[in-house]
Amino acid sequence: MHILVTGGAGFIGSHLCEKLIENKHRVIAVDNLSTGNYQNIEHLVKHKDFTFVFDTIENEAVLDRIISDVDYVFHLAAAVGVDLIVRDPVNVIRSNVLGTEVILKTANRYRKKTIIASTSEVYGKSEKIPFREDDDSILGPTTKNRWSYACSKLIDEFSALAYHHKYNLPVVIVRFFNTVGPRQTGRYGMVIPRMINQALMKKPLTVFGTGKQKRCFCHVSDTIGALIKLTQTEAAIGNIYNIGSTEEITIEDLAHKIKRLTHSNSELKYISYDEAYETGFEDIMRRIPSIDRIHQLIGFKPKINLDNTIQDMISYEKMKIAQQSE
């Protein structure tokens, strides 16, 4: 197969590219490196089956040429991270909505199967736990930048399903729930890499809000395995699937776990949301996926528990710190 991965230099995208090449596919990655990192794919660049294109997904001429020549598309490119979402909503909305429209329009022109990456953020403030794919989305007011990302990804989902219903474009939508692992950066607000780096550097571990928020974290290799299986399953077309773990932990307990696994004496430093992001920032107290639908379809169940996931990320961060000090 010849496969396009948009956002291929990003955290999830780079792992996907790596796995597809390992599975003997040819891969072309498109990324403008706004949140991606060239170092994530540097080890792939010289591989005969890998091509990197430095460009934006809004460049329709380039995407037309690429998509016409591939078998299917993984659309992972997006503006992500709470920090970026709050501070640069214009770029978040434009990149997510306009970029996805280019992908869908071009994929439809050439009738290419397309996997659209969405997010657990689309469930918004819903208190119905666990989140199921057909549940209502309950978002906050438009005066809060925090909701712009969820809204833009909902538009992506509506667009993808509209192309499927009107033109029979083969699309699959996946909603990621806190995918984590090596190469993820804490730069845009991702909690585990940020805390691990703080613990290893003997700095206080920052906990936003009360720390009582509960989250589930899924190792990137489990997420990638599910993505690839979905492309091989015709029954997935036209549907939405949660991908994540159901192993729940509070952010406060997560901080203590990271301290234990890094053998750190760092203190916990609590920071209010108003100080960290914006006045009146609203967080979700519990975000837990139902994975019944994807389990019934492809047998998906995460294999890597949270302790092993964190250990994997600690090893990566230690290697990165050692390289920077050379």
Number of CB atoms found within 10 A of residue 276's CB: 15
Q: Which H helix or E strand runs over 270?
A: strand 268-271
Neighbour count for residue 299 (Cβ, 10 Å): 9
- Would you tell me how many other CB atoms lie within 10 Å of the CB of residue 272? 12
C-beta neighbour count of 130 within 10 angstroms: 19
**Bond before 302 cis per omega within 30 degrees:** no
Count helices and strands in the chain by DSSP H and E runs: 11, 14
Q: What does the angle CA 269 – CA 34 – CA 15 come to, to the nearest 5 degrees?
A: 80
What is the C-alpha separation between 271 and 255, in angstroms, rounded? 14
Find the catalytic residue in 149, 163, 241, 277.
Answer: 149
Residue spans of alpha helices (H) in 168-244: 191-200, 220-231
Judge whether 216 and 244 are in contact, CB under 8 Å. yes
Q: Is 149 a catalytic residue?
A: yes
In sequence order, the β-bridge partners of residue 270 are: 207
Segment holding 85, helix H or strand E: helix 82-87
User: Cβ distance 295 to 242 under 8 Å?
Assistant: no
How many other CB atoms are found less than 10 A from the CB of residue 111?
Answer: 10
Our CA dihedral for 302, 151, 4, 228, rounded to 10 degrees, sits at: 20
CB 247 within 8 A of CB 216: yes
Measure CA 269 to chain center: 26
- Which residues participate in catalysis according to the annotation? 149
